[in-house]
Amino acid sequence: MSKTLFDKVWDSHVVRKIEGGPDVFFIDRHFIHEVTSPVAFLGLKSRGLKVLYPERTFATADHNTPTINQHLPVEDPLSANQLKALEDNSNEYGISHWGLGHQKNGIVHVVGPENGITFPGATIVCGDSHTSTHGAFGAIAFGIGTSEVEMVLSTQCIMQPKPKKMRINVNGQLGKGVTPKDVALYIISKLTTSGATGYFVEYAGDVFENMTMEGRMTVCNLSIEMGARGGMIAPDETTFAYLKDKPLSLKGEAWDKAVAHWKTLKTDADATFDKELTFSASDIEPMITYGTNPGMGMGISKNIPNAEAVEGGVATYKKSLDYMGYHENDQMIGKKVDYVFLGSCTNGRIEDFRAFASIVKGRKKADNVTAWLVPGSHEVEALIKEEGILDIITEAGFSLRQPGCSACLAMNDDKIPAGKYAVSTSNRNFEGRQGPGSRTLLASPLVAAAAAVTGVVTDPRDLL
């Protein structure tokens, strides 16, 4: 029978099918961090359970870590307590732990791939919805709750009904200044934040085939923002080239054998999907959001839609614009910007810093803008220095912070103040997401850079 990529990976990980219920689903790789794991370990302890396969779980601290002075003790006692719990639990159960200060520390969805923990055909979970990032490698990767973290720790399985399948094709050539982030925000704006709920997405078409691994990660990362549990892209030579010789990638004969298998991981020609959508690359502009969910995005040159023109309730829409301090028909170009945030598991990789640098090079940071540039990992940080990007951004008046999730969810001190506008390369513009009362405009690193040097929302194509 013909199968999709998703079927092939899913079906090969079902330990048991339950009549009228979910599948017992085996997990190859499990990432944990300090925020969603402590209660899972408490559960293990209270039931007297062990971790079944500690070598399949990887811990990194990222959500609440400070992004300055990481060599000093963490000031917030609650954060410090969570970091200590992660360390203690990892030590107690024999789990690899890349804590604060560790050379490999960084955002879980950045360090996993860059160390070769992620691989094609794997099933990967983490108590974090942006686990979908790892789908870029042809893995089934998705976020889980803390009860499920406990299940994976104790049995390496969770109970999941098999989602429906959707394929999203984007064909053609992306225009100048249009990045993978824009492709994702465009798709979400078309589907809304619930358009893919209940589905697992496969991205196909030449736009994704021609994309780098980092670009694919950005796209798959944002799958959850259209409601999908995850998204994936068939592994190809780009994937294998990225993974080859990563610290934890297979080596020698084992590598060759794995690649031969990974090459079979693609959707059969006559396999079918429950839903299929096709978009044209030429319709996609640099994108920006204007509301309080990631589906409220549009081409940067457009005006904010009328309530009547959008799907969903008028009251909810108006509440959203009120929160943002915007009005129907406003144009986004020229809107005031107070903060710029470059970073997160969505756009905190080296290509994102290269893109940012390409615009700020030879320009100066606008005086009215506070910019937080946060690499996704120490490895990204090292590359920023090695490639001379640090010199470029320093010359332009910016400084670099230390790795972590930072202002994406503002669990540490990196909070956007109430009422202020932040152009952010992160993934969510929910009310208060970046700090109580903060107002977020989601965009690509190019749009963020353009805002950072002009102080207002600016079309990056004018600066390229």
Partner 1 sequence: MAYDKFNILTSTAVPLPLENVDTDQIIPARFLKATKREGFGDNLFRDWRYNNDGSPKQDFILNNPIYSGKILVGGKNFGSGSSREHAAWAVYDYGFRCVVSSFFADIFRNNCLNVGVLPVQVSPEFSEQIFNAIYDDPNTQIEVNLPNQTITILSTGAKESFEINSYKKDNMLNGFDDIDYLQSMKSEIESFANGLLL
Specify the length of the chain in residues: 464
Member of 68, 85, 307, 456 binding partner 1 (CB under 8 A): 85
Closest CB to partner 1 among residues 387, 413: 413
Q: How far is Cα of residue 228 from the mean position of the Cα atoms in its chain?
A: 13
Which residues is 289 bridged to in the sheet?
A: 297
Closest CB to partner 1 among residues 167, 428: 428
Instruction: Please name the residues in contact with 188: beta carbons below 8 A apart, sequence gap of 6 or more.
Output: 195, 222, 225, 226, 294, 295, 297
Of 207, 194, 146, residue with least CA distance to 166: 194
Member of 258, 277, 333, 456 binding partner 1 (CB under 8 A): 258
Nearest distance, CB of residue 427 and partner 1, angstroms: 9
Residue 333 found at the interface with partner 1 (CB under 8 A): no
Residue 19, helix vs strand vs coil: coil
Q: How many residues bind partner 1 (CB under 8 A)?
A: 78
Of 243, 177, 183, 230, residue with least CA distance to 211: 183
Closest CB to partner 1 among residues 2, 12: 12
**Residue numbers 278-317 binding partner 1 by CB under 8 A:** 293, 295, 312-313, 315-316
Closest CB to partner 1 among residues 107, 369: 107
Give the interface segment with partner 1, choosing from 351-359, 368-376, 429-437, 445-453 (CB under 8 A): 429-437
Member of 433, 444, 447, 457 binding partner 1 (CB under 8 A): 433
**Residue numbers 145-174 binding partner 1 by CB under 8 A:** 145-148, 150-151, 154-159, 161, 163
**Residue numbers 121-150 binding partner 1 by CB under 8 A:** 122, 127-129, 131, 143-148, 150
Residue 385 found at the interface with partner 1 (CB under 8 A): no
Nearest distance, CB of residue 191 and partner 1, angstroms: 12
CB of 1 within 8 A of CB of 114? no
- DSSP state string for 283-333: G---EEE-SSSTTSEEETTSBPPPGGGSSS-HHHHHHHHHHHT--TT-BST
Nearest distance, CB of residue 81 and partner 1, angstroms: 6
Closest CB to partner 1 among residues 131, 238: 131
Residue in the structure block whose two tokens are 């078309």 = 190
Residue 187 found at the interface with partner 1 (CB under 8 A): no
Residue 221 found at the interface with partner 1 (CB under 8 A): no
For strands 297-299 and 275-280, give the pairing.
Answer: unpaired
**Residue numbers 86-115 binding partner 1 by CB under 8 A:** none
CB of 182 within 8 A of CB of 285? yes
Residue 241 found at the interface with partner 1 (CB under 8 A): no
Closest CB to partner 1 among residues 144, 342: 144
Q: Give the contact letters, 44-83, x = binds to partner 1 (CB under 8 A), - = no.
A: ---x-x--xx---------xx-----------x-xx-xx-
| Helices and strands (H and E) in the chain: how many | 16, 18
Q: How far is Cα of residue 32 from the mean position of the Cα atoms in its chain?
A: 15
Closest CB to partner 1 among residues 345, 359: 345
CA separation for the pair 282, 88 (Å, rounded):
51
Nearest distance, CB of residue 148 and partner 1, angstroms: 7
Closest CB to partner 1 among residues 76, 209: 76
Q: What is the DSSP letter of 218?
A: H
Member of 113, 138, 227, 231 binding partner 1 (CB under 8 A): 227
CA separation for the pair 108, 118 (Å, rounded):
11
Which residues is 29 bridged to in the sheet?
A: 124
Phi, psi of 370 (to 5 degrees): -100, 125
